[in-house]
Amino acid sequence: MDIKKLISRMTLEEKAGLCSGADFWHTKAVERLGIPATMVSDGPHGLRKQDEEGDHLGINDSIKAVCFPAASATAASFDKNLLCRMGEAVGDSCQHEKLSVVLGPAVNIKRSPLCGRNFEYFSEDPYLAGKLSAAFIHGVQSRNVGTSIKHFAANSQEHRRMSSSADVDERTLREIYLPAFETAVKEEQPWTVMCSYNRINGVYASENPWLLTEVLRDEWGFEGYVMSDWGAVSNRVAGVAAGLDLEMPSSGGINDRKIVKAVQSGELDEKVLDRAVERILNIVFRYTENAKPDTLWDKEAQHLLAAEIAGDCMVLLKNEDSVLPLHKEDEIAFIGEFAEKPRFQGGGSSHINCFRTTSALEAAEGLHITYAQGYSTKTDSATEEQIAEAVAAAKKAKVAVVFAGLPDVYESEGYDRSHMRMPECQNRLIEAVAEANPNTVVVLHNGSPVEMPWIGKVKAVLEAYLGGQAVGIATVRVLFGEVNPSGRLPETFPKKLSDNPSYLFYGGEGDTAEYREGIFVGYRYYDRKEAEVLFPFGYGLSYTSFEYSNLRLSAESITDQETLTAAVTVKNTGSRAGKAVVQLYVGDEESTVFRPVRELKGFEKVELQPGEAKDVCFTLDKRAFAYWNTQIHDWHVETGSFTVEIGHSSRDITLQAKVNVQSTVELPRHYTMDSIFMDLMADPRAKTALKPLLDGLRAVFAPAPAEETTEAASEAISDEMSLAMLNYMPLRGVISFGGDEKAEMMVQQILDELNKA
């Protein structure tokens, strides 16, 4: 298809019309030119295709589909291959249902546990979010179906999400809130990008040329089209000019007419409109020319795949006295409504109409299980009778398993949580059961961290997150040891909400949300502050044990233009087969800018039989060592020593090696009379030029002691104090203390020479 020739035959009205939806889910068709309509659908973890009347938040029914684990769960897998397989399954279902683009994945950073949409976001870490989202995109698009990575960008709260401005400094945007998008775009080229509702530093994402054109297209090389989140458009003409190609849903022709008028008046160049149309048509025809509606959608097989994925996502947080795995011959009590009716997905636009769900109670059929409801999510309460029934069941059982977590109403798209607590009735139930049976296990169903006031009273905790429609199968497999848990936390669990770095200003004031914690999000903050946490980033237990050894680097020293290979041996030292998650962190030993203690720069999941060992290799490039320098507006590596660490979590580092990295970029320097000596002396050129002046100043600030110097006088100013005062003195001090009429002229000559280079 010659897209440019096709566009030349379109009327202005047709071109403007193509830049908005035909309805809630379809792009427009131009029948006279053979341009078909295509359909998009929600579905980061399954399809929410609505055949009839459409809506944004999942109020109306959608087709029966398969609900895979949400991103909060799949991120815990730390498994790129697993995300790719899930993407392939979603892609197959899209082909079967004639869907051109699936709206996801969602990669916004978990700045705070309060964000109501955290359940469909991957992580507090941009490297992990970027790599996992790229793997999912690869899987979906291998089926010739597009993805729409979202929400671009800095959409880390639901509170006032359609009007609030995320005020974020340049370095924080580049290091925390943009890299997940950047990784996915550069590595996998998602067919589309969805811009967010919010403003960024005062400018709506939907009309932000810096975001949509300069960064996304010019820097990262994005080739697809940008669509709006549903209802995210403020000024449609400004949006087209900025790089927003498709407005969703339909505006009923209102904004189409504004585009036409803007072109006719000269406000908008028609070539800019043509470019938007070309981007949209490229994707429309990429799908239609590769459509395979006869693709098999085996829901039963995907149900089992969902169970397999969920099993690899569960995180074993505690396992005192090896109470898990359970034994199938023992009497076990399943307590809590979630055992019978699990919460396995979040509310809002990603809510799937499941063709089947399997609860833990159903999956455990045939085992020695006693069930007690314990509480009601409908009333968010636990009666005395329910507590008593649960306690009685716990007393008779060898092990009591309490299924708890957050009800639907606690976290959803559209609003944020107001606290980090679980329902009081569930906490009370856990306390009562733990008192009745010392072997109490808690299984958690939640989309983001919760406080655990009972953590010291239970033997084990299994974090299931929101594990999809087959979560019951996966839970029983993990509890009884058929699956060895291998999930790791993709986010820090603080002890309490007020420990979170964004606590004082999360949500913002009015329509301004200041990201004052800067780059110190999640473990970057907790580890730098040495704060005690409930569970650290990357944490997770197993039914076996792993040993890391023999960390070796390919070089002791490299330049920032070279790559470094790190290899480590991992061995299963336990008695069960299991999967280790090898995590690699990099830290700058000494930096002139504030940096985290360590940052995740590599991870691999490795399956090992008892006694088996394998080597795992990582390749580190410039970005592994760099920070965003706001002076040059680019990534920069400071010359110096860096640590390369291997660990089980950000708090459990077992191996460390060092590499010296030499910067090949000399930062621009400009000196003035107000530049202080400490900064000047850090520059070899300046140090050499200033040596004559410095010798004279040392005589002033540290004169040779006279014989008659009193003890009190010698104590008044030490050599260290003299040096400190000299370090902090501005260059103009030479004129004040030098006592030479020619000093100012000499200093100015030196400045001119230094700034000329």
Sequence-distant (≥ 6) Cβ neighbours of residue 296 within 8 angstroms:
92, 96
Place of tokens 């090896």: 322
Residue 658 CA to residue 640 CA, distance in Å, equals: 10
Query: What distance lies between CA 376 and its chain's CA centroid?
Result: 33
User: How many Cβ atoms from other residues are within 10 Å of residue 346's Cβ?
Assistant: 27
Cα angle vertex 722, ends 717, 728, to 5°?
130
Position 84: which residue type? C
Closest C-alpha to 630, from 120, 173, 32: 173
Closest C-alpha to 641, from 657, 652, 664, 654: 657
Position 117: which residue type? R
User: How many Cβ atoms from other residues are within 10 Å of residue 619's Cβ?
Assistant: 12
499 a catalytic residue: no
How far from each other are the two terminal CA atoms of the chain, in whole angstroms? 54
Tokens of 645: 């660490």
User: How many Cβ atoms from other residues are within 10 Å of residue 409's Cβ?
Assistant: 11
Residue 8 CA to residue 560 CA, distance in Å, equals: 47
Sign, CA dihedral 352-358-360-361, equals positive
- Cis before 153 (ω within 30): yes
**Which SS3 state, helix, strand or coil, does residue 378 take?**
coil
Closest C-alpha to 446, from 476, 399, 414, 489: 489
Residue 499 CA to residue 515 CA, distance in Å, equals: 16
Q: Would you say 336 and 403 are in contact if contact means Cβ atoms under 8 Å apart?
A: yes
Sequence-distant (≥ 6) Cβ neighbours of residue 345 within 8 angstroms:
45, 67, 70, 119, 351, 352, 466, 468, 469
Closest C-alpha to 58, from 347, 468, 428: 347
Q: Would you say 402 and 436 are in contact if contact means Cβ atoms under 8 Å apart?
A: no
Which position among 42, 79, 229, 499 bears the catalytic label? Answer: 229
Tokens of 403: 């299924």
Residue 672 CA to residue 746 CA, distance in Å, equals: 13
At residue 551, φ and ψ (nearest 5 deg) are -75, 125
Closest C-alpha to 205, from 216, 220, 192, 195: 195
**Secondary structure, 3-state, 234-281:** CCHHHHHHHCCCEECCCCCCHHHHHHHHHHHHCCCCHHHHHHHHHHHH
What dihedral do alpha carbons 481, 483, 486, 488 form, nearest 10°?
Answer: -80
Catalytic residue set: 229
